[in-house]
Structure 1
């Protein structure tokens, strides 16, 4: 590729190496894809994170996580452009490809493993959320447990997982988005009414918690909220005018960060020390709050197949390479198509995977602690440690002192955050 930084061997951080891409997505379409890729269930745990850390410390954690994630997403694009400028025939389409090019097989395996673990963590969080909300809806009926509600939705997920095309899932995705937006709007409405009703004292809401583990906990939750990091390269490559990606990404992150700040702040102000790890559990038990919870659960039920789709792709890719699978009789007219027996094996593997995720979800003690743990571990490594490592590996010789210092700072802080955040989430806050 041609670019201004090609002569010096460095690609300017805030510019793409090519202003025109091969993608077809407009700026508006890409902006929508960025928001859909990043915003997830973690937002409903932010009020609890603000309760644990304090409203000022929680806000600080969200802002730091947002700025750092944005910067590291640009590092990934810069690394990909650097490789493309050196190897015209190279195809670096995914995060895993970049890991392989930077650090060989070990780097590619580590990157794919972390992405797989992150997707599994997000999928488990979805199931935990669904289980806890269904349990609160039918709390007057004690015959079913939290785990029972999780396993009740698994048959639906197994059937949906047998839909092979993501485009076929788009109607479910649109329905899920509508449910999520309406439900979150009603949550904010309840928060504002509670605050305006004078049912709280601002002085009772702590700005900074005396608990030293509060800020790392909120940071882990915030990092979990900025999910979708693995989609960075695909989003940038999909643009018709790739040169505007950094500006568009900055706009998206500004809006998303402000929404996160307001949602966390108002949720904590409304409920104070009674804020639950999922803010919908604080809603009064009336018809409209039940409608909100059902709407969110329906939204997640139909979003879940998209969440686990990358996991199925990775698992099935490994499965198809096994000797016993390759010995299955192939189609005599089309060797690229799977046989009926092969498809049955794939469908069974999807069902088994979903059952395993359900078992893991039933063992999770709470949504907030689990989300913070995932954010502090795999999400921190994917979002901060790997991008800084790749950037130093590929462009270290062309970076000035301050650029190197910033990369090393992100790398070190990411490792320390992952270590302490993991410890903090496990021992409790």
Structure 2
């Protein structure tokens, strides 16, 4: 093999990354990675949009009234829009940097972890020592984060079912309901293809729409005076808000996965593309539910607003069924990332090709059982939401993308007055501060709950 060539494993295939070479015209602009992607089951724009909405509108949106209780209705509205805009900006620069690195390497696709590895090698000299650990570090955080989401989903589904069973049948501990839902989770998680999951996501979005309508009906019924709610709260509560909102807004691994599987990836990041359009809808829903949910329930807002609405009324029970179903579907979508990384990149090559399907199903079953075990250990929904959001998403959604752009732009410069570098350093500081403080407060909350 030529000395110029290094073999790098990219899930789900292995690509050969060549040392960047310049074409005759002196640039790499003639190579468009999007035109060279070869996908077995590409998704359409509509299917991608359905996946985006389902990935971004999960149990996190139901925690927004509780998040606003930790910020106040003025602070909550402004900070949700700011954090959402920063998260969207970081997703854009992450996807842009991955595209630039693909052009430089002249390959169709590089994963998030590979992009970090390549970017660090091309970045400032003092950062290049981090390149060898970039791949396992990023993969580890992505897999752990989406595993954490699945743990939260197990709790949410079990809590929703418990409320109905308590009302009509028998009062059981929530952990018993977690045991009951293991089989449905195993079934949905055995679907390994995003294209096959697309109809489920579309159906889930319709159920979400009806569910939100019913929740807003309960919220707008006899709203108390807004003066009874706090526009601002003590700064000490804001870290919990930060973690909850980040958890609600970001699904970076799924977003990258659905972009990777698009038939027309150029439609994802355009000015009116799927990313901007989808995030605008998501932000609107989050502010709407957070603001009015806090107005209605105040400091009594639970970790999920479905726990606030009446348990003994049929429309409220329908909402709980709908959201339990949509969360069941989301479990497969979020868990796709964990299995996609760990199995395709690290484990599949250890088994004969003829036996890989069988062992992958066993591996996916193991993930389901592990999420169940973690959910049983930490069944309190709100504190876990904040911990996962603060710890993982400040790193994956803010710190890594801006660090990657600092490295990718190193050889080309950062624009007039080094404006890109200044913006990225500010975002880096914000991500580090928010992550450290949010994680610390979330751990204290968990200790207080289980003291």
Q: TM-score range by the shorter chain?
A: 0.7 to 0.9
1:209 corresponds to 2:233: yes
Structure 1 segment 14-413 matched on structure 2, within 5 A: 31-88=49-106, 90-103=107-120, 104-140=131-167, 143-195=171-223, 200-210=224-234, 212-233=235-256, 238=262, 240=264, 242=266, 245-247=269-271, 248=273, 249-285=275-311, 286-317=313-344, 318-322=346-350, 326=351, 336-338=353-355, 343-397=357-411, 398-400=413-415, 401-413=418-430
CA distance in 2, matches of 1:86, 1:25: 26
Residue pair 1:57, 1:215 contacting (<8 A) in 2 also: no
The alpha carbon displacement at 1:158 in A equals 1.7
CA distance in 1, matches of 2:359, 2:27: 52
Q: Give CA-to-partner distance per residue, 1:234-279, whole Å, 9 cap, x none.
A: 5556364727724123333233212211110111111112211110
The alpha carbon displacement at 1:30 in A equals 5.1
Give the TM-score taking structure 1 as reference length. 0.84
CA distance in 2, matches of 1:224, 1:306: 15
Residue pair 2:399, 2:431 contacting (<8 A) in 1 also: yes
Count how many residue pairs are aligned between Structure 1 and Structure 2.
399
CA distance in 2, matches of 1:19, 1:101: 16
**CA distance 1:19–1:27, shift in 2 (3 Å):** farther
The alpha carbon displacement at 1:143 in A equals 4.5
Gaps of 5+ in 1: 12-16, 331-335
CA distance in 1, matches of 2:225, 2:423: 41
* Farther off after superposition, 29-38 or 185-194: 29-38
CA distance in 1, matches of 2:191, 2:95: 32
SS in structure 2 of the partner of residue 358 of structure 1: helix
Give the TM-score taking structure 2 as reference length. 0.80
The alpha carbon displacement at 1:49 in A equals 0.6
CA distance in 1, matches of 2:201, 2:60: 18
The alpha carbon displacement at 1:422 in A equals 0.3
Q: Give CA-to-partner distance per residue, 1:356-402, whole Å, 9 cap, x none.
A: 11110122242222111111111111010000111111113410322
Q: Give CA-to-partner distance per residue, 1:288-316, whole Å, 9 cap, x none.
A: 21111112112222332232222223332
Residue pair 2:175, 2:376 contacting (<8 A) in 1 also: yes
CA distance in 2, matches of 1:189, 1:388: 41
**CA distance 1:402–1:77, shift in 2 (3 Å):** same
The alpha carbon displacement at 1:319 in A equals 2.7
CA distance in 2, matches of 1:183, 1:100: 43
**CA distance 1:26–1:116, shift in 2 (3 Å):** closer
The alpha carbon displacement at 1:20 in A equals 7.7
**CA distance 1:91–1:110, shift in 2 (3 Å):** farther
CA distance in 1, matches of 2:75, 2:27: 41
The alpha carbon displacement at 1:168 in A equals 3.6
Q: Give CA-to-partner distance per residue, 1:33-83, whole Å, 9 cap, x none.
A: 433332222000000111122111211221121111111112112212322
